[in-house]
Amino acid sequence: MQGEFDLTEMPSRTEMEKAFFERDSGYDGVFFVGVTTTGIFCKPSCPANKPLEKNIEYYGSAREALFAGFRPCKRCKPLSAGIEVPEWAGRIFDRVDAEPESRIRDRDLREMDIDPVMARRWFKRNYGMTFQAYVRARRLGHAFEAIKQGSPLDDAILGHGWESFSGFREAFARQFGSTPGKAADADFIRLGWIETPIGPMIAGAMEAGLCLLEFTDRRMLEAQFETLRSRFGMALIPTECPLFDRLRKELAEYFAGERKTFTVPLVMKGSEFQEKTWRGLLELPYGRTKSYAELARDIGADNASRAVGHANGLNRIAILVPCHRVITADGELGGYGGGLWRKKALLELERGERRFAG
């Protein structure tokens, strides 16, 4: 996986592999290593035993590793790589480690004699994310582990930092509204992990088709989980299904520049106006862009460009429902829930200006 803004900034995989297995501290902060069998990420110089290369993923920043579902190694402390960590920040890390599923709000920081504004700025400057984004990444990490594991779930519980099956099930139920391994007799939403060249994604599918495809670091992800539960009245269960294999294949072809349209069936459920907007997005041709006002006219909603923009932002199926093809009237990128750097990369890909490995 590449860096957040410069998709070519990381060393080659061969160079990173050599640095990691030789424990070369000169690369600390240049890249980070996620170990899939343990769910942790480390500095290249980590003194722990080295895993098999097939169980390693490389990341350009701690932020990327966190939102890929890895938690920081307690031995090498990768969040300290090249950074002087003040005493108050150390207390924050200890608090989050002790309560990874908790929401730590500004008032909680004040009770710790920590200025929330200072915390936001320090985390943003050093890790490219605010303190709340860091807490959200750690909170989602447990859910991401379950989603990446797929089925069966119980085999991974104790090997991923859980002290008991009951603790895992309780946390799982809070996140997904169900217990692991218990699928209702009726349909349910299957959650799967999708790797892409511009970051990992979470996919959701029911029997009828795909209903979710979001980047793991999107701020609205937890809200999207809740929206899915309420809109469809279904539990969310991490498990694999054939549709995810089909989705991975078509996305790989898309990023290799070999696919312009997708055949994965979609389930888009929202308000009447939202669904009309999303259907309009599906009509936007590959490699072309339209303004919000033009899209509004196309769907018969003249003078409703602001409402179209809002519905566009609530799209739950990134890339396949191409909200990235909508720009502002003056030709600027506008907004994008997955980050403007991703929107730029997708548009460059579709214009033939960028290619990713197939």
Asked if 250 contacts 264 with a C-beta cutoff of 8 angstroms, the reply is yes
Q: Is 245 found in the same domain as 258? A: no
Q: Is residue 118 included in any domain, yes or no?
A: no
Cis peptide before 100 (omega within 30 of 0): no
Across the range 329-344, mean pLDDT stands at: 89
Which has more confidence, 227 or 250? 250
Q: Is 242 found in the same domain as 150? A: yes
Distance of CA 30 to the CA centre of its chain: 21
Q: Is 45 found in the same domain as 15? A: yes
Transcribe 222-282 into DSSP letters: HHHHHHHHHHH---EEE---HHHHHHHHHHHHHHTT--SS--S-B---S-HHHHHHHHHHH
Q: Is residue 48 included in any domain, yes or no?
A: yes
Tens of pLDDT along 162-214?
A: 445 555 556 556 555 555 555 445 678 899 999 999 999 999 999 999 999 99
Under the banding of pLDDT at 50, 70 and 90, the label for residue 344 is very high
Tens of pLDDT along 233-245?
A: 888 888 889 999 9
Q: How far is CA 134 from CA 138, 141, 159, 169, 334, in A?
A: 6, 10, 23, 23, 25
Which has more confidence, 186 or 37? 37
Task: Give the percent of the chain with pLDDT over 70.
Answer: 86
Under the banding of pLDDT at 50, 70 and 90, the label for residue 282 is very high
Active-site entry in 46, 73, 76, 323: 323
Across the range 6-34, mean pLDDT stands at: 84
Give this prediction's pTM. 0.77
Q: Is residue 23 included in any domain, yes or no?
A: yes
Asked if 66 contacts 138 with a C-beta cutoff of 8 angstroms, the reply is yes
Q: Where among 24, 45, 78 does a domain terminate?
A: 78
- Whole-angstrom distance, CA of residue 358 vs CA of residue 356: 6
Q: Is 234 found in the same domain as 151? A: yes
- pLDDT score recorded for residue 6: 47
Q: Letter for the amino acid at 129?
A: M
Instruction: Provide φ and ψ at 109, rounded to 5°.
Output: -65, -40
- Whole-angstrom distance, CA of residue 12 vs CA of residue 60: 11
Q: Is 262 found in the same domain as 241? A: no
Across the range 81-94, mean pLDDT stands at: 86
Q: Is residue 102 included in any domain, yes or no?
A: no
Q: Is residue 355 included in any domain, yes or no?
A: no
Which has more confidence, 165 or 111? 111
Domain count for the chain, please give it. Answer: 3
Task: Give the percent of the chain with pLDDT over 90.
Answer: 46
Q: Is 230 found in the same domain as 155? A: yes
Q: Is 201 found in the same domain as 165? A: yes
**46 is a catalytic site residue:** no
- Whole-angstrom distance, CA of residue 349 vs CA of residue 122: 34
- pLDDT score recorded for residue 273: 94
Q: Is the pLDDT of residue 127 over 90?
A: no
Mean pLDDT computed over every residue of the chain: 84
Q: Letter for the amino acid at 299?
A: I
Q: Is 266 found in the same domain as 243? A: no
Q: Is 43 found in the same domain as 72? A: yes
Domain that includes residue 293, residue range: 254-350
Q: Is 229 found in the same domain as 270? A: no
Across the range 86-107, mean pLDDT stands at: 86
Q: Is 306 found in the same domain as 260? A: yes
- pLDDT score recorded for residue 186: 65
Q: Where among 198, 223, 250 does a domain terminate?
A: 250
CATH of the domain at 9: 3.40.10.10
Q: Is residue 100 included in any domain, yes or no?
A: no
Question: Which sign does the torsion angle of CA 164, 170, 173, 175 carry?
Answer: negative
Which has more confidence, 179 or 341? 341
Instruction: Provide φ and ψ at 189, rounded to 5°.
Output: -95, 120
- pLDDT score recorded for residue 173: 61
Q: Is the pLDDT of residue 151 over 70?
A: no
Q: Is 281 found in the same domain as 194? A: no
Asked if 338 contacts 318 with a C-beta cutoff of 8 angstroms, the reply is yes
Length of the chain measured in residues: 358
Q: Is residue 24 included in any domain, yes or no?
A: yes
- Whole-angstrom distance, CA of residue 260 vs CA of residue 258: 7
- Whole-angstrom distance, CA of residue 135 vs CA of residue 272: 35
Q: Which ranges of 283-350 does DSSP label H, i.e. alpha helix?
A: 292-298, 305-313, 340-350
Q: Is residue 179 included in any domain, yes or no?
A: yes
CATH of the domain at 284: 1.10.10.10
Q: Where among 34, 61, 78 does a domain terminate?
A: 78
Under the banding of pLDDT at 50, 70 and 90, the label for residue 124 is confident
